[in-house]
Every structure is written in C-alpha cells, then in structure tokens.
Structure 1
Amino acid sequence: MRIRHLRYFLVVAEELSFSRAAARVHIEPSPLSRAIKELETELGVCLFQRTRGRIQLTWAGEVFREEAHRMLTFMEGARSRVHAAARGFHGRLRIGLADSLAQPRLTRLLACCREEEPLTEVRVIEMTVKEMVNALRHDQIDAGFTVHTELSNGFVKEVVWTDRPVIAIPKNHPLLSLDQIPLQEVARHSLILCHPELCSGGYDVIRRWFSEYTLPLPSTTQYVSGHEPMMMLVAAGYGIGLGLESQITLYNHPEVIIRPVTNDVPSAATFITILDQPPSEELGRFIARAQQVGNAITV
C-alpha cells in the first residue's frame, strides 16, 4: 500500500468526483481511477459505489477513510520526529489547543518549556474539542487544552487556571452605565458568540451560565468563527460579545469597551486533558509547569 494511494483516496472521498480529485492532485482522471482500483484490489473490498457517473463511499470506504487519516497522521508524525531528532531534540510533546485558547498564559507556558527543557520539541495543533478527543484516543496528541466541562470516560482533566467572563460593548451602548454587567442584563441584548462547533467548550461554559439563571440565550444571537470577527461585529453595533477575559482582551478595538460580568457569575476553568493512564515524564513536567503558570497568575 503506497502513501500516495492513501492521499488519492482521501481526496476522492472528499470530492466524490474523479475529475475534481484529479485536478487537485495534478494527474489525469484515468490513472487516478486505476490507483483507487489497485487500492481496492489490495484491500479486497469496494471503497466506492459507482452509479451513473456518480460515486459514493461504501461503508467499508467510510471506515477506511478514518484509518487512512490515522496512517497518514502516523507517517507525518514519524517524519516530524525524525527531523526533530536530526535537529537535536530528544523528546516531543504534541499539544492540542481547542476553543481558540491562544492567550498570554499559554505563551508563558511554552516559553518556560523552551527555557527549562530545550531538548524537548513541543508542537501545538489547533483543533475543535471533538477533534481533540479523537486525537487523544488515536495517539495523535499527548494532551489538549479546553474549557469544556464534560468529556467522555477514559480521560483525565486537570485545572491549570481560571478565567473571568467579560462583555465586549460598542461605544455609546446603554450598558456602559454599569461598572459590572449582570447576566440578566446581558440576556436582554443581541449576543455575538463563538460558534458552538468551532468553540464548543466556550459555548458550553456560556450555556451553563445562562442555564444556572434559567435564562434563554437571546434568539438574535449570532455565531462567529473566533474572537477577532466578534470584536469587528461588536464595533459595528451588531450586538455585544460575551467570552473569557484572556481571550477577548487580546483583540482590543478602539470602538469596543470591555466590562466585567458581576461576581455572582462563576469563573471558567481551563483544563489540560489527557488519557486516563500514567503520563510520560515529559508530559508530567509539562502539566506541572502549566499549573505553576496558572498559580502565578491567580495568586
């Protein structure tokens, strides 16, 4: 089984068209079709159902798509590790980053890792919570950061730091008459939030806040891909933004004012998540450093 055949298969599975897939991989449709046939012959199964010029994945094809992703990820990881060894690294950590958690504390943590353990390569991969869970199960990452409060069995979560909720408010908005914003007041206005799928952890936290006060999310809520477009829409007057202080304050805008939520709304914890098994020595030290960074901020 050749690596390029796996890549060809994944492109065809995505496009469901040999002509479009061939254009993407820069070969003619006929040799691409032959490569897929060779792959099916080697596996002894039919990966695609071909009817009247249309193709669809069979159930075997659906299963093989997941396995092909795993094999390519493994090969890319092996290549990366070999290259890291050639550059002098003696260890590695693969860290998943969900919920758009690019914040100063992570910067400080990664800087500590470079200073205290320079021979360990740390790779950071952005992903959704769902992708993080699958990556942990398939040994594609060693740990992941998320604010999601619920994960399935088989995982261990460690709190590394906490964050206060804040509101992003456009200039001249009536809420600016308040020093701290009650959640009941927030519920009266149009909200701009990060998307529930792209940032499911952050959405989970906000949903829980509203649920504790038996408040519905406003029907006029808009969802965006991240905090930068959130601030753009807030500045334009489309609504108010709600999120975590460390995230929203990264995207200062001259037309947006940041105000804290009242203290009765709880802080949100950021978790580092690993499989429920003893961590490696390198990962154990990484978790300890993360908690030290969190303690240094909160004390």
Structure 2
Amino acid sequence: MELRHLRYFSVLAEELHFGRAARRLAISQPPLSVAIRQLEDSVGARLFERNSKEVRLTPAGQALRVSARRVLQQAEEAALEARDVASGSAGRLRIGFVGAMLYRGLPPALRAFQARHPAVRITLSELNSGVQIAELLHDRLDLGFVHTSRMPPELQHRLLLSEPFVACLPAGHALARKRVLAPADLKAQPFVLFSREASPDYHERILSICVEAGFLPEVRHEVRHWLAVVSLVSQGMGVALVPQAMRHSALRGAVFRPLDRDVAQSEAYGVWRAGPSNVLVERLLEGVALSHAAG
C-alpha cells in the first residue's frame, strides 16, 4: 500500500466519479483504475461498487476512507515538520554549558534566538566540559559550550571567544587597593582554584600563570564552578584567577583587578557532533559570538 494509492482512493471516495477524480489528480482514468485495483488487492477487499451509472463505496471502502484521511494528514504534517526543521524554523536543541557562559553572552543569545524561532524547544543542562563531551558522543546533547579544545574525532568545535584571566580578591584585601596586579603579587596568598576534575584545561592554565610568575599557589579550596570560586573569594576564603567575564557576576565582597602582562587566555568553544550541518546549531553559535562581542 502506497501513499499514492491512498491519495487516489481519497479523491475518488469524495467524487464517486472516475472522470472527475482523474481530472482533480491531473491523470487519465486508466492509471486511476489500475491504482484502485492495486489498493483493493493490497487490502484484500472491494472498496467500490461500480456500474455504468454510478460508483459507490462498499462498507470496507467507507471504513478505509476515515483511516486514509488520517494517514494522509499525518504524512502531510510529518513532511511539514521535516521542512521546518531543515529550514531552522522548528525542532529542538539540547544544550550543555559551563557556568561561565552565563556571563559570556549565552543568556541574551538564547533570548534572541528564541524570539526568532519560537517553535524551537530548548533544554539547558549545566555540565562540566568532560561530561558534555560524553553526552554529545551519546547523542544526548546537540550542542555544548566547553572550556577545552581537546576533542574526539566524532566531534567538531569552534573557538567562540578568548579573554584574559584577572585577579579576584576579597574587597578588604590589601592587594585590592592596587589598580593592576602582577601575577607574582599573589604569591603566598591562599588560593581558591577551579577543580582539575571539573576542567583539567582551566586548572592547568591557572597553574601555568603562577609557575611562570615563579611560584606554586597555596591551594586552600578547589571547587567545580566559577561562581563558587568568586563566592568563596567574596567571603574572604582566598584569592583566585578567574576569566574576565566573571566580573559580571556582581557578587558583593569580590573585586577584580587586571594583570599587568599577557598570560594564558580563558577560552570558550562551541562543540557538536560531526556530520550533516544543523542550521539551529549554526544560528545559535553565531548569536553567542555576536552577543559576546556586543557585550
């Protein structure tokens, strides 16, 4: 049984006249008759009673008419949905993100994207970089925002932004009186550090800044989120090196000071599964980059 057969059947069931049905279908009568016979053979029942004067639906034809209309409508809706997804006007996006993206243009980019694509369903999950990569590989995410460029070959990635690290200090700290700090100024200070387990890349970059300044930090606390780093600093639990974007976290009690030299950068990447391009992924990546640039 083919959709073509059901379409021919539905038109004939409405017209109850082979000539008029053929004209509506833009075919001649012989192909229509052949299609109806093929459908009856497939169903195993006569669908029409016909003589020289009239064409009538049999009880089997009347039953099929209802089902055929439903199947054809579902097929049309499925085709429309596929076209909408292909054009980017509908669909879904399962997005993973590291917490720092909340201060790097992700929320305004999502608002703008949702305004342009109201039929797209978005779900968000805050996950560290390693977990996002695993979720992408298992097709449980469509797009991730991560700290690392170390990717398996099944994934593609794009650098979205690169920004300096800055010093984060308790507001009452003696070093907070300085407008600019040298990394070596933080020597012998208790550090709040981003966990190696949560992001080996960030952990190593921060350590490298300290090592290049001639010291190893005295690590008092390791946490898994940048907001937790800033929160502990704001409460006098230590100092930290954090991405510049964390200045927008607006936590009372924490101040941020630029460093006096170029150091390792804090980077954010968009990552997705390799394969056919997803127009929704492309549009959101562009929006995040533009939103960050505007900020």
TM-score of Structure 1 vs Structure 2, range by shorter chain: 0.5 to 0.7
1:1-20 to structure 2, matched below 5 A, reads none
1:243 offset after TM fit, Å?
Answer: 0.8
Q: Residue 236 of structure 2 aligns with which residue? A: 237
Assess, with a 3 A threshold, how the Cα gap between structure 1 residues 101 and 221 changes in structure 2: closer, same or farther.
farther
CA distance in structure 2 between the partners assigned to 1:110 and 1:198 by the alignment? 25
- What is the aligned partner in structure 1 of residue 218 from structure 2? 219
User: 1:246: how far off?
Assistant: 1.7
Deviation (angstroms), 1:284 = 1.9
Are the counterparts in 2 of residues 192 and 223 from structure 1 also a CA contact under 8 Å?
yes
State, as a whole percentage, how many aligned pairs show the same letter: 18
Aligned residues: 208
Structure 1 partner of 2:29: none
What is aligned with 2:180?
180
Q: 2:276 aligns with which of 275, 278, 281?
A: 278
Q: Secondary structure at the match of 1:132?
A: helix
Question: In the aligned structure 1, how far is the partner of 2:216 from the partner of 2:101?
Answer: 23
Write the distance in 2 (CA, Å) between the matches of 1:90 and 1:271: 25
Corresponding letter in the other structure for 1:167: A
SS of corresponding position for 2:192: strand
What is the 5 A alignment of 1:106-121?
106-121=106-121
Amino acid at match of 1:235: S
Q: C-alpha distance in 1, partners of 2:203/2:247?
A: 14
- State the AA in 2 paired with 1:142: D
- CA-CA distance at 1:227 after TM superposition: 3.6
User: In the TM superposition, what is the alpha-carbon distance from 1:138 to its structure 2 partner?
Assistant: 0.9
Q: Which residue of 2 aligns with 1:250?
A: 249
Q: Structure 1: which 5+ runs fail to align? A: 1-84
Alpha-carbon distance in 1 for matches of 2:282, 2:230: 37
Partner of 1:123: 123
Instruction: Answer with 198-207 or 127-136: which moved more.
Output: 198-207
User: If the length of structure 1 is used for normalisation, what is the TM-score?
Assistant: 0.61
**Which shows bigger deviation, 232-241 or 121-130?**
232-241
The answer (yes or no) to whether the contact 1:146–1:201 under 8 Å persists in 2 is no
Q: 1:181 is matched by which residue type in structure 2?
A: L
Residue of structure 2 in register with 1:98 after alignment: 98
Instruction: Write the distance in 2 (CA, Å) between the matches of 1:113 and 1:95.
Output: 13
- 1:248 is displaced (CA, Å) by 4.7
**Partner letter of residue 124 of structure 1?**
L
Q: Deviations over 1:97-133 (max 9, x none)?
A: 1355322501111011111111111211111222111
1:66-107, Cα deviation, whole Å (9 max, x unpaired) = xxxxxxxxxxxxxxxxxxx9xxx8301111113553225011
Deviation of the 1:287 alpha carbon: 1.9
The more displaced of 109-118 and 144-153 is 144-153
Q: TM-score, normalised by structure 2?
A: 0.62
> Structure 1 stretches (4+) deviating beyond 4 angstroms?
none
**Per-residue deviation at 1:150?**
2.4
CA RMSD of aligned residues (A): 2.6
C-alpha deviations, 1:233-262, integer Å up to 9, x for none? 323433112211223531421x33221222
The answer to whether the aligner puts 1:261 opposite 2:259 as a matched pair is: yes
The one-letter code sitting in structure 2 at the alignment partner of 1:226 is H
Larger radius of gyration, structure 1 or 2?
2
